[in-house]
Amino acid sequence: MTDLLKDCGAHLNARLDVIIEKWFEACKQDDALGIIVTKLSRKAFLDDIPDAIEGLAKTIACGDHAFFAPDAKVLDLHSQHRWKQGFSLRQLIRDWGNLNKILINELDAFFHEHHQADHAARALVFTRFADFIKNALSESVRCFEALRQREAGGVANELQAIHDQFEEATHSRSQLLREATHDLRGGLSAIAGATAVLKVSEQPNKMFGDALESLERGVASVKAMLDSLLDLSRLESGEDQAQLKSVDIAETLTRLAEEYRPVAHGKHLKLSTSGEHSLIVETDAEKIRRIVQNILINALTYTLEGEVNLAWYLEREQERWAIEISDSGPGIDCTHPTSLAHELETDKPIRKPAGAFSGEGIGLTIVKRLCEALGASIQVRSAPADGTRFTIHFPLSYDRPGLEASEQAPPAKP
């Protein structure tokens, strides 16, 4: 019987190319596999199966008591290839089923031609072959299930990350709206209080001036808050696109500083400017004004004594220009992961800092969105009792999709 088993193993090895070709053609003709198999080259289709068949041939030829256990590594590689090629588990099983059918026909043809009467040898060969198919299918299904679980775990992690980002954004938006509502109520309360004073005052002429001033402050506060909410809504909806053109930004910033100098004088603060007399850049002047205005208002509000400085300068080697706003105010802690600096310089939404004045959280969120619209980066450097410095870098020109200049800017002056 030993010689017969060796002959059977040699037969499989000699017929390997024929077996592989028949298997390939059978899979092409299979309705469940044809679409995917016809897209594969013969080499891509075969992968590690020839090694597995050679292992089967060696096991059949090795003696009466040999037991065949397929090489798990070879079968895992085959399953991984089929996974990457887009096979489903059902298609993988049909893949093996077609190979099973071809091998049965080959073994049956061998015994029919050479050893029809040796029933014991035939039974042993087919038993070993059945063990081969059983173990091969079992290992392939196990590997496929492991790959499926790994992919499902990856998808679950991605979905969880998306969910967490959505929850954070929703929470931050809700927090921002709650703060805005609180600030609006504060302004309206001032109006309501002033109105009540006017109604019940026994000395209307004496108190009229104070009540009217309170009304004006309340109305201005509510209007500013509503304007900020409208600005933020337009920015986040994509309606407020950058309108780029050649601008002398030095002139724009100098004029803006002049507008706020009376506010600084009213608080006994110095509002200074520094920068080139003329700096031509390509940008959206109105958005620049809004960025600087929001930061400047915060600086003037927080700074109780000393100076606020607005500066601009060119960084030609980096092909960018910058605005810098610094103050001698109380400063903020920029070392914590949830600090204002971290939120401004990353994708995190802005939250209103502890102790902030009305509208500040919205104002800084608008600054961040405007910087994004202009492709600008923003940095905050500050420490408690050491003032705050905002530095914003803008590109000199724009050639990216979505930021089209209305006219080309001339070279910036040195």
Could you read off the pLDDT of 196-216 as tens digits, one per residue?
A: 666 565 555 555 666 666 666
The whole-number average pLDDT for the span 308-313 is 96
The DSSP annotation for 188-247 comes to: HHHHHHHHHHHHH-S-HHHHHHHHHHHHHHHHHHHHHHHHHHHHHHHHHTT-S---BEEE
pLDDT in tens, 316-364: 888 999 999 999 988 876 554 444 545 555 544 444 444 444 444 567 8
Determine the pLDDT at residue 307: 94
Instruction: Tally helices (H) and strands (E) across the chain.
Output: 13, 7
Query: Whose CA is closest to 68, among 42, 103, 114?
Result: 103
Nearby residues of 356 by Cβ (< 8 Å), 6 or more positions away: none
pTM higher than 0.85 for the full model? no
- Range name among 217-226, 308-317, 326-335 with the lowest pLDDT average: 217-226
| Of 226, 369, 390, the residue nearest 287 (C-alpha) | 369
Bigger pLDDT: 413 or 380?
380
**What local confidence, expressed as pLDDT, does residue 339 receive?**
44
Give me the pLDDT at residue 265, please: 93
Q: What is the pLDDT of residues 163-197, one digit of tens each?
A: 777 667 656 665 665 566 556 656 666 666 666 66
Is the pLDDT at 229 greater than 70? The verdict is: no
**Separation of alpha carbons 295 and 195, rounded Å:** 33
* pLDDT bracket for residue 407 (50, 70, 90): very low
Indicate the pLDDT class of residue 128, thresholds 50, 70 and 90: confident
Q: Which of 28-42, 97-111, 271-285 comes out lowest in average pLDDT?
A: 28-42
pLDDT of residue 288: 93
Distance between terminal CA atoms of the chain?
96
Q: Which amino acid is at 196?
A: A
CA 236 from centroid of its chain's CA atoms: 17
Q: Is the confidence at residue 93, as pLDDT, over 50? A: yes
The whole-number pLDDT of residue 271 equals: 95
Q: Which residues contact 261 (CB under 8 A, 6 or more apart)?
A: 271
250 close to 276: Cβ distance less than 8 angstroms = yes
Q: What is the mean pLDDT of the chain?
A: 76
Residue 414 has pLDDT above 60, yes or no: no
Nearest to 93 by CA among 56, 134, 137: 137
Query: pLDDT > 70: what percent of the chain?
Result: 67
Question: What is the model's pLDDT at position 302?
Answer: 85
> Can you tell me the mean pLDDT for 281-285?
91
pLDDT(272) > 90: yes
What per-residue confidence (pLDDT) applies to 338? Answer: 41
